[in-house]
Amino acid sequence: MELSTIAKPYAQAIFEIAEKNDSLSDWNELLNTASAIMADNVTQEFIASPGTSKDQKIELFCALLEKATSRELSKQESAFINLILNNRRTDAFGSIASAFDAAVSNANQSKNFHIVSAFELTETEKKVIVDDLTSKHKTTVTVETVVDEKLKGGVIIKEGDKVIDTSIKAKVDALGVCLSVN
């Protein structure tokens, strides 16, 4: 599996935590420092050593991070390091740092959503959707709407590779799958 594929869920989870705790710069520093530490051959050998316990690896890695960042790690940061080491994903630190930087950068920009609807949306309906998306993504949101009469009802909201499908067609298809399984 590609490191960027592994890194994206970690980076997104960290971004959400950092945004809630107003700790984006701390996490950015932690991820970049962890990436630099893992670039060291001696650290890589220590982490890969089968003779070293997981607890020893976690303790050393956290100590290195605390020394390099000149601060104590938060409980969430320590839990994250523990998770990465336990899942043997230390090679993904660089990719996680890059994906985190991308998430921070994307959050500071407006997002454009493509909405497919069975009927022409009223201005009030568009405003409700924009307000919901703005609240969820905490950024400026613009929408482009298209009518697709095949939907019969509901909407499909797309942003990049993300899709929210609340159309009646999707619900009928899901019901059909449920009925065919039983």
Residue 12 scores a pLDDT above 70: yes
pLDDT digits (tens, 9 = 90+) for 32-76: 999 999 988 998 898 888 998 989 999 999 999 999 999 999 999
pTM for the full predicted model: 0.59
Q: What is the mean pLDDT of the chain?
A: 87
Residue 1 scores a pLDDT above 60: no
Degrees (nearest 5) of the Cα angle 94, 99, 100? 95
pLDDT bucket at 135, cuts 50 / 70 / 90: confident
- Residue 182's pLDDT is what? 60
The domains located in the chain, with CATH, are: 3-106 (1.10.520.20), 110-181 (no CATH)
Residue 26 scores a pLDDT above 70: yes
Question: Which runs of E-coded beta strand occur in 78-179?
Answer: 111-117, 141-147, 155-159, 162-165
- Residue 170's pLDDT is what? 78
Paired residues of 115 in beta bridges: 145, 157
